[in-house]
Structure 1
Amino acid sequence: MYNYTILDDKELTGLLQNGDELAFTEIYNRYWTKLFAVAANKISDLDEAEEIVQDIFVSLWKRRNELDTINTLGPYLAVSVKYRVIKVLAKRGHQQKYSDYTQHIASLTDDTTQQWLDFEELRGRLATFVADLPEKCRLVYRLSRESGFSQKQIATELGISEKTVEAHLGKALKTLRTRLSSFLL
C-alpha cells in the first residue's frame, strides 16, 4: 500500500497507467484547484470553467494508458486546460457570429413579413376605393389598370370617345391618389 500524498508526479502517473484509482484521486486532489483557477481566470462562467476541468480529468482517466511520455503532470494538465479554454472561447465566438447572423436574418424576415402585410392592407384599401368610384370611372380604371387595355381599346370596347376615356381615367386616378395619400400618412 502506498502513501499517495508523498509520491511525485512520475510515480503517480505510473500507477495511474496501471488503473490505480487512488493515484487518480491523488492527482485530482493535487491539481483540481490550480486547474480551476486557470480556467476561471480566462472564462467568466464558473460553471463552464468547472466543466472544463472535469473534462480534463475524465480525459486523463480515459487516456491513462498513453501517459508514458509525461514526466511532469502539472504543466501537462495546465496546457490541457489552456487548450480547452481556447476551444471554448472559439466556440463562443462562432456561436456569437451565428447568433448575430440569425438575428440579422430574422430582422430581414420580420421586415419582409411586415412589408407584405402592409402591401396586402394597401391592396385591400385600393380595392375598396376602386369599388367606391362611379360606375363608368371604375370600369375605365379596371380596363386600363387591371386588364391592360389602351385608351383606344377602352374607347372601342365601351363605345365612347378617347377623350371621355382619358377624363374618366384622370378622375379615377386623382380620386384614388387623394384617398390613398390620406391612408399612407
Structure 2
Amino acid sequence: MDGMLLHRLRAGEIGAFTELYNRYWEALYRSSLKRIANADDAKDLIQDLFVTIWTRKDQLPQAIDWEDYLYAALRYKVINYIQADEVRIRYANAKLAESDALHPQADSIVALGELEHLIDRAMDRMPQRIREVFRLSYAEGCSPQEIAQRLSLSLQTVKNYLADAKAIVRRFLHDYPAAVPLLLLGLAGFERFF
C-alpha cells in the first residue's frame, strides 16, 4: 500500500497527496502540539512538512514506511523550530536589554500606568466606604490614623477596611495574569498594598 501511494505521489497525482495528508495530518499535528504547545505553530509545521513532501516528491526514498518517514521528518521540523525560537528569544532579549539601557524608566512608567488602571478598576468593585478608605490611603497617602480622624472611624475599622480593600485588589489582579509582571517590578508606592 505504501509503495503504491509513493508511486502515485511521484507521478504527481494530487489524489495520492490528499490521501497521504488525510491519513496522517491529525496524528502528526497532535504529536507536534505536544512538543511545541502552540496550536498555530503546530499547524504551520505540519503544513510545511507536507509542502516539503510535495515539492520533493521526486527525491523520496524508493521504499518508504510513511509513518516512520513522516514522524522522523516532523522531529527535524520541531528541532529546527525550537532552535529558531531560541535564536528569536535571544535576539529579543538582547534588544530589550539594549532598550532598557537607553530608556531604563520607560517600562516602569508604562507599567505604573497599567497597574494604576487595574487598581482603579478593582476599586470600582469595592463597597463605597471601603473604597473611600482605600482611596485616602492609596491616592493621598494618608496613614490609618489620619483616615480614622478624617472619617470619624475607629483605627481598627480603618485597618479592617484597608485589609478588605487589599484582598479585593489582590483577587482582582489575580484574574489578570498580565498584572503579575507589573507587581514583580516592585513599583515604588505600591508595595505597601500587596
- Please, what TM-score do these two structures have when normalized by structure 2? 0.52
- Higher mean C-alpha deviation, range 74-83 or range 102-111: 102-111
Measured in 2, the distance between the counterparts of 1:59 and 1:105 equals: 38
Higher helix share goes to which structure? 1
Structure-1 separation of matches of 2:105 and 2:17: 59
Partner of 1:20: 13
* Count of residues in Structure 1 that have an aligned counterpart in Structure 2: 106
1:50 alignment partner in structure 2: 43
Please tell me whether residue 99 in structure 1 is matched to residue 122 in structure 2. Answer: no
Pair member with larger Rg: 1
Moved more, 28-37 or 66-75: 66-75
Tell me whether 1:60 sits opposite 2:53 in the alignment: yes
CA RMSD of aligned residues (A): 1.7
Question: Which residue of 1 is the match for residue 81 of structure 2?
Answer: 88
TM-score (norm 1): 0.54
Match of 1:69, SS state, is coil
Equivalent positions of 1:165-184 (< 5 A) are none
Q: What is the distance in 2 between the residues matched to 1:77 and 1:97?
A: 30
Aligned to 1:69: 62
Query: Structure 1 residue 37: deviation in Å?
Result: 1.1
Report the CA distance between 1:101 and its aligned residue: 0.8
Matched, 1:78 2:74: no
Distance 1:111 1:40, change over 3 A: closer
Q: Distance in 2 between matches of 1:20 and 1:82?
A: 26
Shift of 1:53: 0.2
Q: Deviations over 1:4-35 (max 9, x none)?
A: xxxx2121011100111111111011110111
Structure 2, gaps ≥5 residues long: 107-194
Q: Which runs of 4+ in 1 moved over 6 A?
A: none
Superposed, 1:118-129 pairs within 5 Å as none
* Cα shift at 1:109: 1.2
For structure 1, the residue ranges without an aligned partner over 5 or more in a row are: 1-7, 114-185
**Distance in 2, Cα, partners of 1:22 & 1:56:** 17
Q: SS in structure 1 opposite 2:60?
A: helix
Q: Percent identity?
A: 28
Q: Distance in 2 between matches of 1:23 and 1:112?
A: 59
- Are the counterparts in 2 of residues 56 and 80 from structure 1 also a CA contact under 8 Å? yes
Q: Deviations over 1:51-106 (max 9, x none)?
A: 00001111111111112434211111111111111111111111111111111111
CA displacement 1:87-145 (0-9 Å, x = unmatched): 111111111111111111111112499xxxxxxxxxxxxxxxxxxxxxxxxxxxxxxxx
